[in-house]
Amino acid sequence: MSRSLKRVVLVLEALDREYPGAGSTLEYVNPFQLLVATILAAQCTDARVNIVTKEIFRKYPDPKSFAGADLGELMEDIKSTGFYRNKAKNIKASSRLIYEEYGGVVPNSMDELISLPGVARKTANIVLTSGFGKVEGIAIDTHAKRLSYRLGWTCENDPVKIEQGLMNLVPRKWWGEVNHILVAHGRAVCKARKPDCGGCVVEKFCPKAGL
């Protein structure tokens, strides 16, 4: 095992012990609801998304319902999540494709998912991993991006390049968990504005600690 790989594994093991069972905090009952919730979660807290989806999943229970929704009304329904115009357009368009092209069933391959409006690799990875139990990559959101940089795992800024780098660095058995434990640590300790380096279980492995 190389020195860099060993350090990565030690970090992952420490964070896994710190946040046992870490997983998505979005509330959903099927892959389609997870897809919608993940689109809404961009630049929005999961707590706010869960409040919004509790209402809209009653109003629009399936892809057909979202596809037939009045766009202006849907925008109003999700307004509190921010960037609601683009989110509403993407959810409606993706729902139409899922209903018309996939028989109302969310596709379960990376290529098919990223062909849906508003779905990039981050969202696709989340849906595949948490919705279907399939691991094809590593979801890179704002927390994973920030912590990967601070830990010295990447010097890239583009999420796709960060993911490619981590897939070469992180053992495959960890791919499905990396995002969840980095998000948990990012929310609890390694915050964007003021990280609590003194309370960090992986401080000794972090080149940015104290900076």
Catalytic residue among 16, 122, 173, 196: 122
- Report pLDDT digits (tens) over 130-185: 999 999 999 999 999 999 999 999 999 999 999 999 999 999 999 999 999 999 99
pLDDT at residue 209 in the model: 82
Q: Tens of pLDDT along 180-204?
A: 999 999 999 999 999 999 999 999 9
Q: Which part of the chain has CATH 1.10.340.30?
A: 31-132
| pLDDT at residue 114 greater than cutoff 60 | yes
Give the integer Cα–Cα distance in Å for 137 and 71.
33
pLDDT at res. 88? 98
Predicted pLDDT of residue 211 = 63
State the span(s) of the chain assigned CATH 1.10.1670.10. 3-22+138-205
Angle ∠(17,22,24) on CA atoms, nearest 5: 165
With the C-alpha atoms ordered 80, 57, 19, 135, is the resulting torsion angle positive or negative?
Answer: negative
Of the CA atoms within 13 Å of residue 21, those in its CB half-sphere come to 0
Catalytic residue among 62, 141, 161, 204: 141
Average pLDDT over residues 58-67: 98
Pick the CATH number of 31-132 from 3.30.10.20, 1.10.10.10, 3.20.20.300, 1.10.340.30: 1.10.340.30
User: Per-residue pLDDT averaged across 5-32, rounded?
Assistant: 95
* CATH number for domain 3-22+138-205, candidates 3.40.50.880, 3.30.420.40, 1.10.1670.10, 3.30.450.20: 1.10.1670.10
pLDDT in tens, 31-49: 999 999 999 999 999 999 9
Q: Is residue 1 over pLDDT 60?
A: no
Contact 187, 196 (CB under 8 A): no
**Is-catalytic flag, 111?**
no
141 is catalytic: yes
pLDDT on residue 3: 57
User: Which residue, chain included where needed, has tokens 């919004």?
Assistant: 52
Percent of the chain with pLDDT strictly greater than 70: 98
